[in-house]
Structure 1
Amino acid sequence: MAKYEKFPYVTLLLGILAVLMIRIGMPTLFTGYQITATVMALLMTLGTVTAHLLGQHRVVRVLHWVTVYYTVVTFIIMVIYYISAFMVITDERGLESVFQEHLSTAKWIYFALCFAQPIMLPIPEAVTVVAGSSAFGAFPAFAIGFAGTWLGEAVMFTASRIGGLKLVQRLIQPSKLEQYHKYVSKNETVIMILLFIIPVLPDELVCVGAGISGVSPKRFLLIAAVSKLLTSSILAYSVYLAQWLALTPTQMILSVSGIALLVCGAYFAMRKKAARSN
């Protein structure tokens, strides 16, 4: 209780942060929502200060945690707000044109997109990396794309590992998790690599499934690194390979996926044959 007897600087700062996110971070948000959300944040902040001055430390504690949750929810809404706005822009003008229009910050935007893909961003890796390759070259697109995606997968895996099944069930439908477990019930390492390479399931689902199924962090990070080295390099150089082979980037990606499926089929056929011979 002693820490709540001090002036609630943290609560005050969180309340101000929430107001700034509402008023400055989301400028085109509907005015009615902006006013309501701002008034709520200000009331919580003023209520905390008033309760402190009156010595109502239990009320201060309650308002502190209410403010914490309110600020977190506001931040999540702001992230969704920018993702939605970005999706609208990319649908209208294309991701490559967005990079070309913001060349000074394009690589940072690209890194942020790759990082967010395995966590929350519903844009396929093929779209992002190919657009990055077209905008600022194959090797930068490969290097930045690999680093961003691998770090994003590590964060998603760690979050699911720490949060456990209860947190995962709030983020992902149980039916999708059942799909993952069905795919990896046997030969988990090989299947995880293939799922990262061939877009049968979203990367975030593979990360979450691995996180709650007991895969060791070292093993997961190695599998993710090998898989993303392959996909990032293929996608980054697919524009040039496609031109050399007179294929479109989409045809190139489909061809690579087909080769991976053939390799997968041959692997399991050889294992089945070896099992029978034993």
Structure 2
Amino acid sequence: MLILYFICCILQPICLPVPEMITVVWGLNELGAVPSFVFGVLGTVMGTGLMYQFACKASDWIITKLHYEDKIACFERYIRHYQILIVALLFVVPILPDEIIGIGAPLVGISFSKYMILAAISKTVSVGMITFSEQIGRAFSINKWQVIIIELGILMIISKAIRLIEHRKLFNENGV
């Protein structure tokens, strides 16, 4: 069952038409919280990385064959200014499917290393939110929506930290 769950998590951001929440809840019910979380994060991050690499090689074909032109245009509008924050939020909040994010990221110039860091952080938050929100809520006497708001706040703080690091790096490279 663990191997099947892991494979489903890898395929999730590539080709599975099932929402991530359904896959993770299935893993949660079959395997328990910790294995569901660990293999869910590892699998979805691996799948997301594979989709990014595949998109780098075949993005034009994917977009036209799967008729993703409108969704890619939507993705580009979302991330024009706040690249890091928006991509991270799109991973967590299911506005666009992960395969669209994987196809769109190389098209708008997000590097593979930055993309994988965002994917790892975002998938840790999103899978963790699904698997542990009930336990966290009970431990701190808060409801699920408060847990989600706290996790999104943490994601925003991490995003700001990444942007600060990038600005410092750019500042240091320019010698100003």
Other-structure match for 2:79: 184
> Which residue of the other structure, out of 101, 104, 119, is the alignment partner of 1:209?
104
Determine which structure has more spread, i.e. the larger CA radius of gyration. Answer: 1
Task: Quote the Cα distance in structure 1 between the aligned partners of 2:132 and 2:85.
Answer: 24
Question: Gaps spanning 5+ residues in structure 2: where?
Answer: 161-176
Instruction: Give 1:140 deviation, angstroms.
Output: 0.5
Equivalent residues of 1:117, 1:125 under 8 A apart: yes
Equivalent residues of 1:198, 1:257 under 8 A apart: no
Structure with the greater relative contact order (CA < 8 A, sep ≥ 6): 1 or 2? 2
Equivalent residues of 2:136, 2:147 under 8 A apart: no
223-232 or 161-170, which moves further after superposition? 161-170
Task: Quote the Cα distance in structure 2 between the aligned partners of 1:254 and 1:111.
Answer: 29
Equivalent residues of 1:133, 1:239 under 8 A apart: no
Task: Quote the Cα distance in structure 1 between the aligned partners of 2:13 and 2:145.
Answer: 19
Other-structure match for 1:119: 14
Aligned-partner SS, 2:50:
helix
Instruction: Give 1:217 deviation, angstroms.
Output: 0.9
| Counterparts in 2 of 1:259 and 1:224: CA distance versus 1, 3 Å | closer
Query: Quick one: percent identity of the two aligned structures?
Result: 28
Q: Which amino acid aligns with 1:115?
A: I
**What is the TM-score with the length of structure 2 in the denominator?**
0.77
1:222 aligns with 2:117: yes
Instruction: Give 1:171 deviation, angstroms.
Output: 2.4
1:196 aligns with 2:94: no
**What is the TM-score with the length of structure 1 in the denominator?**
0.51
Equivalent residues of 1:130, 1:238 under 8 A apart: no
Q: Which amino acid aligns with 2:59?
A: G
Equivalent residues of 1:157, 1:207 under 8 A apart: yes
Other-structure match for 1:132: 27
Q: Which amino acid aligns with 1:256?
A: I
> Which residue of the other structure, out of 142, 149, 173, is the alignment partner of 2:37?
142
Other-structure match for 1:64: none
Aligned-partner SS, 1:236:
helix
Kindly report the root-mean-square deviation, in angstroms, between the aligned alpha carbons of the 2 structures: 2.7
Question: Gaps spanning 5+ residues in structure 1: where?
Answer: 1-105, 269-278
Count, aligned residues = 158
Task: Quote the Cα distance in structure 1 between the aligned partners of 2:8 and 2:94.
Answer: 17
Instruction: Give 1:170 deviation, angstroms.
Output: 1.4
Instruction: Give 1:172 deviation, angstroms.
Output: 4.1
Equivalent residues of 1:197, 1:227 under 8 A apart: yes
| Counterparts in 2 of 1:181 and 1:120: CA distance versus 1, 3 Å | same
Equivalent residues of 1:160, 1:168 under 8 A apart: no
